[in-house]
Each structure stands twice: as structure tokens, then as C-alpha cells.
A = this chain, B = another copy of it.
Amino acid sequence: MTKSADHPQETLRLDGFLPYRLSVLSNAVSRKIADMYEREFDISIWQWRIIAVLGESDGLTSTEVANRTLMDKPAVSRAAASLTERNIISRKSDDADRRKAELRLTDKGREIYAAIKPRALAYERELLASLSPEESRMLHGLLTRLSHIASPDRNLWSETGE
């Protein structure tokens, strides 16, 4: 077997280069959806992520939120502070361990979640509109495999079938 550098002079066109393509696509998508959150609900992407995970499973601590959203702790801390101030989430500190605090959506928070959710899903559908269901599944499968390689540590992307 030849050592390495088996790959002599492949071309490198930026717009065929996967990291570049992912970055451009992801930026375009994030921008667009962030504009919508911002314009219609005055909510940032980070705030939205927190609302989204709490909408699914209420009563998480900051650290748990950070793990699920892949945000770093300072980001969660600040976004949560602002949401608390706006009475969208509440924080109740744990009596047993006073370092911790449980975060929950308030009623207002639930309303906002209920309002954003269909808009978010609609945008996702729009994005996927030109893909068949099989292609869409394929896409998710491929993203999962790429994610395993890009961040092997993460336990996420587990095959969450149903």
C-alpha cells in the first residue's frame, strides 16, 4: 500500500467544499429564521433554544439546558436572565442544592412557545418542500453520520427513531 497522499491533485472549489457549503447554508437558514423570531416575537436564537427545550421538558436546570442545546453556560445564563426578566420563564432554586435552579416556562412563556412552534415548523417544511419524505429521511441520516464524525464526543444524535 502506498503510504498516504494517495490523493494527488484533487480540485478544491470552494463551492464544492463541504465545510464551506455547510457554513453558507447554515448561515442563510439561521439568519432567516432568527429574523423571524426577532421580528415577530423579539426573541433571539439562544432564547428560542431555551424556550424550545423547556417546551418539551419543563423544569430543567441551566446545566441541563446547556447540554441539550449545546449552548455554553454563559450563553444560557444570559439568555435565561433576559427571559426571566421578561417573565417568559421562571426560576425556582432547588432547596436541597441551592446552587441549582429549575427553569420553567411561565404561562406567558407557554403562549410564546405555542405561537413560535408552528412558525418554526412551517419554515422547516418550506425548506424541505422540494424533498421527498425519503430524501428528507436520508438527509437527516446523513447529517447524523456527519455529526458523529465532526463531534464524536457528543452523545446526541442518537438514533431517536420514534
Contacts and interface: CB of A to CB of B under 8 A. Distances in A.
B151 A142 contact: no
* Copies assembled: 2
A29 interface: yes
Interface in A10-64: 10, 12-30, 32-33, 49, 52-53, 55-56
Given A23-B30, A33-B19, A56 B125 contact: no
Nearest to A123: B19
B24 A147 contact: yes
Given A32-B150, A160-B13, A160-B15, A7 B125 contact: yes
Interface of A: 5, 7, 10, 12-30, 32-33, 49, 52-53, 55-56, 68-70, 117-118, 120-131, 135, 138-140, 142-143, 145-151, 156-157, 160
